[in-house]
């Protein structure tokens, strides 16, 4: 396709210049794909990437001091969505990729103040192995019977969005929702499943229900097909479910930045945008350092509230819609301990906390079990998540108060009384976009209105079509395709 792209008649004389606002993973990937796709198609295209923070990477922050590797934001990406891994491979990071230690994979759920293992074979929330599930004491016999009803309950008719809670209650029952789905999903999306849009987060479940009439049948059938393809050699061996880079996710950021050849600005925000007018055929970006940049196309890779602020004077309706995307606050507290001080075996990837439990933590990752190269041999590293929809107020606590609360909870749940040897806190006020029921319709409307009112202006990033790193990277690549289509006609 690239070879067929020709510059449009009115663009032949001048280079097309693109401004990208925000250099989290979405903005960085947009810049990278603009550069590589334009080069591959021999298009005359340049770009400016503007980031208001002093560092690139947005929520991707890795701290490597004292032999520890501590992630402040994301710690890995899911490999089932291929785009983050593919980008790492394209960047030559193949040898730096590491997976989760899946032989030690086990997730615990806090139940009546104690840790209970999620039975082996539960995929996402769907049981796929009978014996471990039947033997587990996490779900009552009646609850298990209700989950098995999934095999017989007919599929829902209609295509309108529903909440994850409504879906799980309908197919697997209330106990599966309260004890498994709610804490796991709150851990992944930091969201209340009563509000969480199924269409925007688990479209796969909708397909399974429609195609197989049952989640269990759907999951088993997919696993069987995958195993057969692997045996026949038509599918590569399975990847670890989650992957990261040996040096932490910042390695992806620094590698991207090293490759970028456009104008890169940090500690400079975009304060105001002016659309093209009759006398001025380019967008004007007014920067916080008093300078301006002119651009033929603009990509706003900023969180929805920042995007709304920039669009308010231009398309107030779109700004209103963007402001309706809710955000929740979270914080992560990483604690290191001497291994000899911890009697708990840390025999899994960590635990999640259902809302019925009095414990005020959201989840805890046993980092040094989940990944190699995160702590010196004689230490262990834990990362606790607080905030989210259950206890947002905790993000406001002082460092000392937060540390005390977390240590009290870890003592009660895991018996940890030792002094931590290291502590790192990262707060993410209004940092987690919430995909409420109807999210996709809202986004479709926002995109259509923006395209109509402001041709050449594109929106991307975690507020829109996927919060995870792979989705942000995928959306960036799609936005670049749109920019190329809009600025260079197919010959
Ligand atoms: C604690 C935590 C853990 C997470 N864990 C995972 C995980 O394990 N795996 C996973 O896949 N995802 C995870 N996520 C989600 C993922 O990290 C984010 O969705 C993703 O990093 C967001 O990328 P982004 O580029 O859309 O936005 P951001 O990273 O927020 O970047 C937006 C950038 O825009 C800049 N900006 C804003 N306004 C302006 C302006 N006016 N001018 C210039 N620049 C501006 C900001 O400074 C920022 O750098 C996690 C998120 C959090 C908070």
What pLDDT sits at residue 1?
A: 33
Q: What is the pLDDT at residue 491?
A: 40
Q: Is the dihedral of CA 196, 197, 203, 208 positive or negative?
A: positive
Pair type for strands 379-387 and 327-338: antiparallel
Which pLDDT score is estimated for 489?
61
Q: How many angstroms separate the CA atoms of 368 and 346, rounded?
A: 9
Pocket of ligand 1 (CB under 6 A): 21-27, 50-53, 58-60, 73-77, 269-270, 301-303, 306, 330, 332, 428, 431-432, 461-462, 467-469, 472
At 7 the pLDDT is 40
User: Which CA distances in Å does 67 have to 21, 146, 373?
Assistant: 35, 48, 9
CB 389 within 8 A of CB 186: yes
Closest by CA to 322, choosing from 445, 432, 201, is: 445
Structural domains of the chain sorted by starting position, each given as residue range(s) with its CATH number in brackets: 2-56+252-325+436-490 (3.50.50.60), 120-231 (1.10.3110.10), 327-433 (3.90.660.20)
CA–CA gap between residue 24 and residue 128 (Å, rounded): 37
Q: Enter the tokens of residue 159.
A: 């295509």
The tokens for 190 are 């930091």
Model pTM score: 0.94
> In angstroms, rounded to a whole number, what is the distance separating the alpha carbons of residues 303 and 325?
10
- The H or E element that residue 332 is part of is strand 327-338
Mutate to test the pocket of ligand 1, among 26, 74, 374 (most ligand atoms within 8 A of CB): 74
Please give the pLDDT value at position 448.
98
Question: Smallest Cα–Cα separation from 272: which of 289, 257, 258, 259?
Answer: 289
- Report how many helices (DSSP H) and strands (DSSP E) the chain contains, helices first: 17, 24
DSSP string, 296-317: SEEEE-S-HHHHHHHHTTT-HH
Alpha carbon 221 to its chain centroid, in Å, reads 27
pLDDT at 9: 38
Considering only CA atoms, which residue is closest to atom 45 of ligand 1? Answer: 22
Closest CA to ligand 1's atom 36: 22
Stretches where the chain sits below pLDDT 50 are 1-13, 490-491
307-329 pLDDT, tens digit each = 999 999 999 999 999 999 999 99
The angle formed by the CA atoms of residues 110, 113 and 117, to the nearest 5 degrees, is 35
- CB-CB contact of 57 with 491 (8 Å): no
Nearest to 298 by CA among 482, 139, 475: 482
Q: What angle do helix axes 83-90 and 250-259 make, rounded to 10 degrees?
A: 50
Q: Helix crossing, 25-40 with 250-259: angle to 10°?
A: 40
**Res 439: pLDDT:** 98
Task: Calculate how far, in angstroms, residue 154's C-alpha sits from the geometric centre of ligand 1.
Answer: 39
- Count Cβ atoms below 10 Å from residue 340 Cβ, excluding itself: 10
- What are the start-end ranges of the H helices in 48-163? 83-90, 130-135, 141-148
**Do residues 224 and 463 lie in contact, with contact meaning Cβ atoms separated by under 8 Å?**
no
Contacts of 152 (CB under 8 A, 6+ apart): 214
């Amino acid at each position: 396709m690239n070879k067929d792209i020709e510059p449009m008649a009115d663009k032949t004389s001048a280079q097309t210049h693109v401004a990208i606002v925000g250099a989290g993973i979405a903005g960085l990937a947009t810049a990278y794909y603009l550069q590589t796709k334009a080069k591959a198609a021999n298009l005359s295209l340049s770009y400016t990437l503007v980031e208001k923070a002093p560092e690139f990477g947005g929520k991707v922050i890795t701290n490597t001091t004292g032999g520890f590797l501590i992630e402040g934001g994301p710690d890995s990406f899911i490999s089932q969505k291929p785009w983050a891994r593919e980008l790492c491979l394209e960047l030559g990071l193949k040898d730096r990729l590491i997976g989760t230690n899946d032989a030690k994979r086990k997730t615990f759920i806090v139940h009546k103040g104690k840790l209970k293992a999620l039975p082996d074979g539960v995929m996402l929330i769907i049981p796929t192995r009978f014996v471990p599930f039947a033997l587990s004491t996490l779900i009552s016999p009646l609850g298990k019977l209700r989950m098995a009803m999934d095999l017989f309950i007919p599929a829902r008719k209609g295509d309108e969005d529903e909440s994850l809670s409504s879906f799980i209650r309908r197919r697997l029952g209330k106990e599966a929702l309260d004890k498994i789905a709610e804490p796991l999903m709150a851990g992944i999306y930091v969201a209340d499943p009563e509000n969480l849009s199924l269409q925007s987060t688990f479209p796969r479940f909708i397909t399974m229900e429609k195609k197989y009439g049952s989640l269990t049948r759907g999951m088993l059938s997919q696993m069987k097909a995958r195993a057969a393809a692997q045996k026949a050699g038509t599918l590569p061996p399975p990847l670890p479910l989650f992957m990261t880079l040996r040096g932490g996710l910042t390695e992806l950021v620094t590698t991207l930045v090293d490759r970028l050849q456009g104008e890169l600005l940090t500690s400079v925000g975009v304060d105001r945008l002016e659309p093209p007018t009759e006398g001025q055929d380019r967008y004007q970006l007014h920067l916080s350092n008093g300078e301006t940049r002119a651009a033929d196309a603009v990509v706003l890779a900023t969180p929805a509230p920042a995007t709304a602020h920039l669009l308010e004077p231009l398309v107030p309706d779109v700004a209103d819609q963007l402001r309706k995307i809710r955000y929740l606050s979270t914080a992560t507290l990483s604690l290191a301990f001497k291994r000899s001080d911890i009697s708990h075996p840390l025999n899994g990837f960590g635990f999640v906390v259902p809302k019925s439990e009095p414990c005020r933590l959201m989840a805890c990752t046993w980092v040094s079990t989940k990944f190699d190269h995160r702590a010196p041999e004689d230490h262990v590293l834990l990362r606790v998540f607080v905030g989210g929809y259950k206890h947002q107020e905790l993000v406001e606590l002082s460092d000392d108060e937060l540390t005390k609360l977390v240590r009290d909870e870890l003592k009660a749940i895991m018996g940890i009384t030792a002094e931590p040897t290291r502590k790192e806190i990262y707060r993410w006020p209004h940092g987690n976009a919430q995909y409420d029921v109807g999210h996709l319709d809202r986004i479709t409307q926002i995109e259509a209105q923006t395209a109509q009112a402001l041709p050449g202006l594109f929106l991307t990033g975690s507020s829109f079509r996927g919060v995870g790193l792979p989705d942000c990277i995928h959306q960036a690549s799609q936005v670049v395709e749109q920019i190329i289509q809009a600025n260079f006609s197919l010959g």
